[in-house]
Copies of this chain bind each other. A is one copy, B any other.
Amino acid sequence: MRKVYIIGIGMTPFGEIFDKDVDNLVSEAFFKALDDANLEQKDIEAVWAGTMLFHKSVPGPLVARATGLVGKPVSRMENACAAGTDIVRNAFFAVGGGYYDIVAVVGFEKMRDVTTTEMGFKMAIRSPLYEQHLGMTGPGNFAMFATRHMHEYGTTSEQLAMVAVKNHKNGAKNPNAQFRREITIEQVLNGPIISWPLHLLDCCAITDGAVSLVLASEDVARKYTDTLIEIAGVGLGTDYSLHAEKKTLTEFAAVKYAANQAYRMAKVEPKDIDVAETHDCFTISEIIEIEDLGFTEKGNGGKFTEEGETEIGGKIPVNTSGGLKACGHPIGATGTRQIHDMTEQLRGEAGERQVDGAEIALTQTLGAQVNISGVCILKRA
């Protein structure tokens, strides 16, 4: 097993992108990453592409053409919202294992091209036979987790809103974010209810975008850059799809499985993490995730947030990019975007959002019926 480094990063701004097709988004992100790594197309030996919803042609060959790499291998992975993490995990295995020296990953989604019917058809946040008819849409699922967390631990609507306020504050400083404006607790609480207790501003948006990374083995990485960011650990966890089969509604078991694998591989503990991106598809998600990742004890996520510990300057800054909440959430791109943003932090290139002295970062995605999760741990080398 060789060490694997991120030597190039690139992304499109996230948002509603009506004037570009998927091909354009993939190209833009890929060539930015290639430029960032000072490489040429011919140097890339293989690609892993992540997308959930794209269906207008077969994604692998589309990415081959959009990157100018026709002929070379392009694997397409889909693992709901964890796809963008799992492509990095698989590319990491191939480079770390010695099969390739330099590869690229690209996560992308153009959700604005997908009709609501198609999205419902493919997003499958549902178990048709048993739970779908009970209202188990995306917001429905997370509203249930929120009410149970409130019931068991006294978490409040204000604490949920504080997650949104923090992430919008960070996102306002991120040139790639979909929503670059600050919001207040009152704006969240006075907004329309989507699924009680989740208000409009407790929910992330529908987004277009693409993100690309270049990974290289320790054998060649130093030829291209001195700022090496190591992929120190990866993990992928699963859980039961039906909520009725889950052990609890206040814990994401898939996240714990994924995090344990990544912590073990990276030989670090939660207390070692300096900065993290978690999957705040809804505000309650971040509160449960910072507990499951071990940043605070179970049940304390709301209080921990209220105390400012997840803000920049706090004990463990979370979603310094703005998170899914402010960056937006192009499904297959999100996991890759988190790693892009944590690479910026570890390089010291996060500008106004920089966490001083960040050396170890963690990223985490959560998909579908909270039954799939990817975790990645990065270290400044």
Whether A257 touches B56, Cβ cut-off 8 Å, given contacts A61-B241, A97-B93, A372-B61, is no
Which among A69, A77, A235 has the greatest number of chain B C-beta atoms within 10 A? A77
Q: Answer yes or no: A76 CB below 8 A from chain B CBs.
A: yes
Task: Tell me if A9 is interfacial: C-beta within 8 Å of chain B.
Answer: no
Counted per complex, copies of this chain come to 2
Q: Which residues of B contact A98 (CB under 8 A)?
A: 1, 97
**A354 on the interface (CB 8 Å rule)?**
no
Residues on B with C-beta less than 8 A from A77 are 75-78
Q: Is B127 in contact with A57, judged by CB distance below 8 angstroms?
A: yes
Q: Contact partner of A79 among B1, B76, B79, CB < 8 A?
A: B76
Contacts of A99 in B (CB 8 A): 1, 93, 96-97
Verify if A240 is at the interface (C-beta below 8 Å from B): yes
Residues of B within 8 A of A60 (CB): 79-80, 82, 238, 371-372
A58 close to B257 (CB less than 8 A): no
A240 touches B70 (CB 8 A): yes
Q: Which of A73, A82, A126 has the most CB of B within 10 A?
A: A73
Q: Does A224 contact B (CB under 8 A)?
A: no
Contacts of A78 in B (CB 8 A): 59, 76-78
Q: In chain A between 284 and 309, which residues have their CB closer than 8 angstroms to a CB of chain B?
A: none
Specify which chain B residues have a CB less than 8 angstroms from the CB of A79 in the assembled complex.
58, 60, 74-76
Check if A20 is an interface residue, CB within 8 A of chain B. Answer: no
Given A75-B86, A93-B94: A56 and B124 within 8 A (CB)? Answer: yes
Q: Is A150 an interface residue (CB 8 A)?
A: no
Interface residues of A in 91-135 (CB under 8 A from B): 93-94, 96-99, 121-122, 124, 126-128
Note all chain B residues with C-beta closer than 8 A to A236.
Answer: 46, 73-75
Residues of B within 8 A of A70 (CB): 238-240
Contacts of A82 on B, CB cut-off 8 Å?
Answer: 60
Contacts from A to B (Cβ < 8 Å):
1, 46, 55-62, 64-65, 69-80, 82, 86, 89-90, 93-94, 96-99, 121-122, 124, 126-128, 235-241, 253-254, 257-258, 261, 367-369, 371-372
Supplied contacts A57-B368, A73-B238, 17 more A-B pairs, CB within 8 Å:
A1-B99, A55-B122, A56-B128, A57-B124, A57-B241, A58-B124, A58-B367, A58-B372, A60-B79, A61-B241, A64-B238, A65-B240, A71-B237, A77-B78, A90-B94, A93-B94, A97-B97
